[in-house]
Amino acid sequence: MILLNLISKTFGDRQILRNINLKVNNGEVLAILGYSGAGKTTLLKIISALDTNFTGEYLFNGINVKKNPEKVRKHITMVFQNPTMFRGTVFENVAYGLKVRGYDKEYIRDRVSEILELLGILEFMDKNAKKLSGGEKQRVAVARALVVDVDVYIFDEPTSNLDIENIKIIEGALENIKKMDKTVIITTHNLFQARRLASTVAYMEKGEIVEVGKTEEIFKKPKDERTYKFVNGTF
């Protein structure tokens, strides 16, 4: 379980996150919505234990993340907004998370093939990852995260700038991990996507979480006017 208690963060003298309280239960699929610059990526980097430079308390399954980020990172993986590729082939990219966990070669080969198949990029296995198209890279990035067995998967706009075909494939892969009762946190500018995938939605504005609720509630009868405006696209 993820428990954020009064999390705040500043860059220089700009406050980017303000008193964030958030609880994400195991097996929950949470979509974080909000305008560009609302602080979604910043929050995800904290949740994924990559950024411990914040004030407030963050407990992951009871572990104090600030004190034990390395331990927590073993249970969480995040797909970044911009798909960065390691030098090397698609296979090497996707195998990385298994390699650092010390799995044997045979297992890695099978598991990577399976995931590549799921994302429809098996044929790219031996291709240079840096030379793929944007959509292909995005799929490699998703595969690279899904290949490892963790408790929480975080996706920062996994389908922005992608065409329907790519979106379908990636959402299909997400559905797959949902079925395994994993916790999923996703940010998206695509409201339909949030509605399709999420069980819970949080709406962020200017570094604050304005409202959290069941997906249908947030879309049908949000409590806060700001949320209402956002989900209805009114200004």
Partner 1 sequence: MAWDYIIEGLTGAINLIISGDAELLNILFRSIMVSGIATIYAGVIGIPIGVFIGLSDFRGKNILKSIFNAMLGIPTVVLGLILYLFLAPAGPLGFLNLLYTTMGISLGQMLLILPIVVSFTMNYIEGVDEDIKDLTLTLGADRIQMMIKVVEEASLGIILSILTAFNRAIAELGVATIIGGNIFIKGGELNTRVLTTAIQMYVTRGEINMAIALGIILISVAYTLSLLSNYLQKRWIES
Ligand X SMILES: Nc1ncnc2c1ncn2[C@@H]1O[C@H](COP(=O)(O)OP(=O)(O)OP(=O)(O)O)[C@@H](O)[C@H]1O
The residue ranges that bind ligand X (CB under 6 A) are 11, 16, 34, 36-42, 81
In the chain, what is the straight-line distance between the N-terminal and C-terminal CA atoms, in Å?
35
Gyration radius from the chain CA atoms? 18
Restricting to residues 19-48, name those near partner 1 by CB under 8 A. Answer: 45, 48
CA dist 92 and 59 (Å) reads 33
Name which position in 66, 73, 109, 229 contacts partner 1 (CB under 8 A).
73
Residue whose CB is less far from ligand X, 77 or 188? 188
Residue 41 within binding range of Mg ion, rule CB under 5 A:
yes
Q: Pick from partner 1, ligand X, Mg ion, none: which does 37 bind, CB < 5 to 8 A by kind?
A: ligand X
CA dist 151 and 183 (Å) reads 6
The window from 10-18, 33-41, 69-77, 201-209 that contacts partner 1 (CB under 8 A) reads 69-77
Residue whose CB is less far from ligand X, 39 or 97? 39
Residue 100 within binding range of partner 1, rule CB under 8 A:
yes
Rounded to 5 degrees, φ, ψ at 90 are -60, -45
CA dist 42 and 154 (Å) reads 13
CA dist 54 and 58 (Å) reads 9
Give, in order, the Cα–Cα distances in Å from 132 to each of 88, 121, 182, 188. 12, 11, 29, 23
Residue whose CB is less far from partner 1, 170 or 210? 170
Residue whose CB is less far from partner 1, 80 or 230? 80
Q: Pick from Mg ion, partner 1, ligand X, none: which does 166 bind, CB < 5 to 8 A by kind?
A: none
Residue whose CB is less far from ligand X, 38 or 210? 38
Q: Which two tokens stand for residue 62?
A: 């009871």
Name which position in 101, 168, 220, 223 contacts partner 1 (CB under 8 A).
101
CB of 16 to partner 1, least distance (A): 17
Residue whose CB is less far from partner 1, 125 or 191? 125
Name which position in 42, 77, 183, 227 contacts partner 1 (CB under 8 A).
77
Residue 105 within binding range of partner 1, rule CB under 8 A:
no
In the complex, the residues that contact Mg ion under the rule CB under 5 A are 40-41, 81
